[in-house]
Amino acid sequence: MCDKRALRRAVRERIAMIEAPDAQERSAVICEEVKRHIAVSGARVVALFSPLGDEPQLWPLVEHLAQRLSVVLPRVEGDVMNFYSFDRGMMATGAFGINEPQGGVPVQAYEIEAIVVPGVAFTESGARMGRGKGFYDKYLSQDDFSALKIGVCYREQIVPEIPAEPHDVPMDVVIYK
């Protein structure tokens, strides 16, 4: 089993090799597949994320779903992450340079019915390795959280094995292209 730091470095090097037009095309395919999973799940409250430059670009999906469903996005507040309703006019750069919703009150974990989760690496069976701060694992392990967990990534982020720790929360499905 390899260590997480070395695995993160190796995967980041592979992601860096993806050319922008290819990443854009693959992101669009990922978004379509996520739409299908959300439709099948019947979810009405969907948590997405503001993508960083090396993550699948989900803004078209955010905009699309916000016309039909309640879309919530994360905001880091100290050492915790909460989700707030998406409003295009109420977004600002927050923690770690991520575009976050401003104002409002946090949505309760039990209200979220499907969540799309970023990661540095995934296995096809759903194991996930994040950026190392544990924000998603903490959120997903709340007692009242029971949403469908959808991991999204590029195929270069799929690895055979991730060193598991007791606090790691697996995904129900991993979508990659």
Per-residue pLDDT tens for 144-153? 999 999 999 9
Question: What mean pLDDT is predicted for residues 44-56?
Answer: 97
Length, in residues, of the chain:
177
Strand partners of residue 82: 75
Q: What is the pLDDT of residue 2?
A: 64
Domain ranges of the chain: 4-176
Q: How far, in Å, CA of 173 to CA of 177, rounded?
A: 13
Give residues with Cβ within 8 angstroms of 175, minimum separation 6.
30, 33, 34, 37, 150, 151, 152, 153
Q: Which residue has the higher pLDDT, 147 or 2?
A: 147
With a cut of 80, say whether residue 62 has pLDDT above it. Answer: yes
Q: What is the pLDDT of residue 164?
A: 83
Q: How far, in Å, CA of 100 to CA of 168, rounded?
A: 24
Question: What mean pLDDT is predicted for residues 38-66?
Answer: 97
Q: How far, in Å, CA of 18 to CA of 147, rounded?
A: 31
Topology, domain 4-176? Rossmann fold (3.40.50)
